[in-house]
Amino acid sequence: MQIQPTASHFINGAYVEDTAGHFIDVVYPYTGEVVAKVHSATPAIIEQAIAAAKAAQADWAARSGVERGRILRRAADIMRDRNHDLSVLETYDTGKPYQETSVADATSGADAFEYFGGLAGALTGEHIPLAGGDFVYTRREALGLCVGIGAWNYPTQIASWKGAPALACGNTMIFKPSETTPLCALKVAEILYEAGAPAGVYNVVQGLGNVGASLITDPRVAKVSLTGSVPTGKKVYASAAEGLRHVTMELGGKSPIIIFDDADLENAVSGAVLGNFYSTGQVCSNGTRVFVQKGIKEAFLNRMSERLASGVNMGDPQDPDTNFGPMVSENQRSIVQGYIEKGKAEGARLVHGGGTPEKEGFFIEPTVFADVTDDMTIAREEIFGPVLSVLDFDTEEEAIRRANDTEFGLAASVFTNDLTRAHRVSAAFEAGTCYINTHNLAPVEAPFGGSKMSGVGRENSKLAINHYSEMKTVYVSMNDVEAPF
Ligand SMILES: NC(=O)c1ccc[n+]([C@@H]2O[C@H](COP(=O)([O-])OP(=O)(O)OC[C@H]3O[C@@H](n4cnc5c(N)ncnc54)[C@H](O)[C@@H]3O)[C@@H](O)[C@H]2O)c1
C-alpha cells in the first residue's frame, strides 16, 4: 500500500518539494509498513511559506467577511463529499479505526469550516458614544500571519480547527502537522484552495519540532496556535513571548470523571469508555482518573469488564466493524506499556487487559486498573493510551478536592442523577471543559480548551474569534482640539 502525496508541502496554492530536506517516514500503525515519505522543510521552504502567507494576507483580509465565509463553507461541502477518502487517509495516518474517522475527523473539520464560514460575515466592531458628540468605533482586525502546529491524534481536525477561525478573521496560516501524521493537513490545504481560498492563504509545511520552532520565531508571524504536550507548550509559549506574539495553547491533561452512587451505571460506564478508549486512548481530554463512589465501585468494575470483554473489536482499522485500533506508533506503544508496568509495580490492581496482543500492528489492550491511589504515577502523569484508573471515594468534598489535585485542567465530568450536585461539582472543577453525565464531546458551537497547565485560550465557538483577531479603537473628535498651549 502506498499513499504518497503529490509532494511534501503545500505553499502558495501548489504542492512543492525540496528534496534537500531529510525524509520523514509515514508508518501505517496497523502493519508497521512505510506507506509514504515526506521531506522535512528546509530553510528555503520555510521562507517560501512565510513569504507567500505574508503576501496573501492583506488582500484576504480586505475581502468581505461574506466572501471569505462563502469559501470556507464551500470547503466544508467538499470535505463532506470526500469524507470517505479523507477518512481512509486519516486511518492510514493515525491507525484510528475507520468506524471513528468516518464520523469524527473530516466531518469535524467540515463543521469548523461551516461554522466559522457562517460567522465570517458577522464580525463587527461597536460604536461608543462619548461626551460632547465625540465617539469611538472599534474595528475587528485580523492579526496577520498565524502559525498552527498540530499533534498526531486528530490531524484533519486540528488543521481545520485552527485554520477555520484564522481564515474567517482574515488571517493567513502556515500549518505544520505532527511529523507522525503528516498527510491529512495537505488535503485540507488542497480543499481550501479548490474552494477558492487564494494562493498563500493556507499553507502546509512538514517537519519536526525544529521546523515549528523556526516558524514561530520569525518576526513576520503574529500568532501561534499549538496542539501538543505541556513540555512543548512551555517551549512554544516562551519563544512566542520573545516577540510578544498571540498564543493559543491546547495541551495535555489528566482529567477526572466523578461517578456518584446515584448515577445511571450504564451511562457512567459508557462515559468512561468514551473518555478512555476512543481513539485507543489518544485523546487529550480523556478522563483517565475515574473516581467511583464506594457504593457502586464493584458494580462499575464488573460492568466495565463485561463491556470490554464483549464489545471490543480490535483489528484492521480500515474494516468498518473494527472499533479499536492500534497505537499511533511503536514508540507510543512502548511508553504506554511502561506506564502499565509502573501501575502494577506501584500496587494498582489490574482488572482488565494490560497486554499486547499477538498480532501485527502497535496494539495494546484496553486496560483497567482499580485501587489506584492519588500518588501513583498512573494517576499523576498523562499516559495518552488506553489505560483507565479507578480511584474510590466517600464524599463529594473529597472527590472534588482530589479531582482538582493536578497541574492539569483540561476536562472533567460528573455522573449523577442529583441535579443540584451536578452543577455544584461542575462549578467546583478546575477545568476548562466540563461535562454532566457524558464525556469527551466537542461540538464546534462550544468553547473547548484547558485551564492551569492544560492551555491558554479556547478553540471553537464564537470565543475563538477573539483569539484570531484584535480590536482597533478609533476615537473620532467632533469638537475643536483643546490643548494647554
Ligand atoms: N488540548 C488539546 O486540544 C489537545 C488535542 C490533542 C492532543 N493534545 C496533546 O498533544 C500531546 C500528544 O501529541 P504530540 O505527542 O504530537 O505532542 P508534542 O508536544 O510532542 O508535539 C506537538 C507538535 O509540536 C511540534 N513541536 C515539538 N517541539 C517543538 C518546538 N520546540 N517548537 C515548535 N513546535 C514543536 C511537534 O513537531 C508536533 O507537531 C498530548 O499531550 C495531548 O494531550 C492536546
128 in a structural domain: yes
Which residue is closest in CA terms to ligand 1's atom 1? 250
Task: Give the residue among 212, 206, 187, 6 at the shortest CA–CA distance from 113.
Answer: 187
With cut-offs at 50, 70 and 90, classify the pLDDT of residue 354. Answer: very high
Q: Which atom of ligand 1 is nearest to the CA of 178?
A: 39
Locate the ligand 1 atom nearest the alpha carbon of residue 215 and give its number.
Answer: 33
Q: Which of 100, 114, 179, 250 is catalytic?
A: 250
The pick from 96, 162, 178 for probing ligand 1's pocket by mutation, whose C-beta has the most ligand atoms within 8 angstroms, reads: 178
Same domain, 243 and 267: no
Contact 256, 410 (CB under 8 A): no
Bridge-based pairing of strands 9-11 and 14-16 is antiparallel
Tell me the C-alpha distance between 343 and 338, whole Å.
Answer: 9
Q: What percent of the chain has pLDDT over 90?
A: 99
pLDDT band at 358 (very low <50, low <70, confident <90, very high): confident
Same domain, residue pair 375 and 464: no
Rounded mean pLDDT, 177-190: 98
250 an active-site residue? yes
For residue 229, give the ligand 1 atom closest to its CA.
41
Q: What confidence category does residue 465 fall into, taking pLDDT thresholds of 50, 70 and 90?
A: very high
- Of all protein residues, the one whose alpha carbon is nearest to atom 29 of ligand 1 is 209
Q: Are 380 and 254 in contact (CB under 8 A)?
A: yes
User: For residue range 314-338, what is the model confidence (pLDDT) as tens digits?
Assistant: 999 999 999 999 999 999 999 999 9
Q: Ligand 1, atom 41: nearest CA belongs to which residue?
A: 229
Q: What pLDDT, in 10s, does the model give residues 11-21? A: 999 999 999 99
Closest-CA residue, ligand 1 atom 3, reads: 250
pLDDT tops 70 at residue 2? no
Closest CA to ligand 1's atom 32: 213
Residue 443 lies in a domain: no
Residue 468 falls within a domain, yes or no?
yes
Same domain, 215 and 311: no
- Worst-scoring range by mean pLDDT, 80-89, 357-366, 419-428? 357-366
Please state the atom number of ligand 1 nearest to the C-alpha of residue 179.
37
Distance from Cα 231 to the centre of ligand 1, integer Å: 9
Q: Which domain holds residue 427?
A: 256-436
| Residue at 444 is within a domain | no
Which CATH number do you get for residue 35?
3.40.605.10
pLDDT of residue 179: 98
Average model confidence (pLDDT) for the chain? Answer: 97
| Minimal-distance CA residue to ligand 1 atom 25 | 209
Report if residue 242 sits inside a domain: yes
**Residue labelled with grid coordinates 489505560:** 387
Q: Is the ipTM of this complex over 0.90?
A: yes
Please indicate, yes or no, if residue 1 is contained in any of the structural domains: no
Per-residue pLDDT tens over the stretch 399-426: 999 999 999 999 999 999 999 999 999 9
**pLDDT at 1 > cutoff 60:** no
pTM of the model: 0.97
Same domain, 338 and 380: yes
Atom of ligand 1 nearest to the CA of 236: 32
Ligand 1 center–CA 371 separation, angstroms: 31
Query: pLDDT for 29-74, tens place per residue?
Result: 999 999 999 999 999 999 999 999 999 999 999 999 999 999 999 9
The answer to whether residue 309 sits within a structural domain is yes
Give the position, in ligand 1's atom list, of the atom nearest the Cα of 284.
43
| Minimal-distance CA residue to ligand 1 atom 21 | 228
Location of C-alpha cell 481550501: 192
* Ligand 1 center–CA 415 separation, angstroms: 30
Question: How far, in Å, from the CA of 473 to the mean position of ligand 1?
Answer: 35
**Pocket, ligand 1, Cβ cutoff 6 A:** 149-153, 176, 178-179, 208-209, 212-213, 227-229, 232, 235-236, 250-253, 284, 382, 384, 410, 450, 455
325 and 352 inside one domain? yes
Find residue 202's DSSP bridge partners.
Answer: 173
Pocket test for ligand 1, best of 108, 162, 232 (most atoms within 8 A of CB): 232
Per-residue pLDDT for 91 more than 90?
yes
Please tell me whether residues 429 and 324 are part of one structural domain: yes
Q: Is there a domain that residue 304 lies in?
A: yes
Name the residue with the closest Cα to ligand 1, atom 36. 209
Question: How much distance in Å is there from the Cα of 151 to the middle of ligand 1?
Answer: 4
Give 470: exposed, middle or buried? Use CB within 10 Å, 0-12, 13-18, 19+.
Answer: middle
Distance of CA 58 from the midpoint of ligand 1 (Å): 30
How far, in Å, from the CA of 38 to the mean position of ligand 1?
19
Q: Tell me the CA–centroid distance for residue 154 and ligand 1, in Å.
A: 11
276 and 243 both lie in a single domain: no
Query: Count of domains in the chain?
Result: 2
Q: Are residues 277 and 239 in the same domain?
A: no
52 and 176 within one domain: yes
pLDDT digits (tens, 9 = 90+) for 269-290: 999 999 999 999 999 999 999 9
**Segment holding 173, helix H or strand E:** strand 172-176
pLDDT in tens, 119-164: 999 999 999 999 999 999 999 999 999 999 999 999 999 999 999 9
Report the pLDDT value the prediction gives residue 344, as an integer from 0 to 100.
98
Clarify whether residues 273 and 169 are in a common domain: no
Residues 167 and 193 in one domain: yes
2-6, 175-179, 230-234, 409-413, range with the lowest pLDDT: 2-6
Average pLDDT, integer, range 94-112: 98
Contacts of 173 (CB under 8 A, 6+ apart): 53, 145, 146, 147, 148, 162, 163, 166, 167, 201, 202, 203
| Nearest atom (ligand 1) to Cα of 332 | 15
pLDDT of residue 281: 98
215 and 329: one domain? no
* pLDDT score recorded for residue 360: 86
Q: Side by side, which strands form the sheet with 14-16?
A: 14-16, 9-11, 202-204, 172-176, 145-149, 221-227, 246-250, 455-456
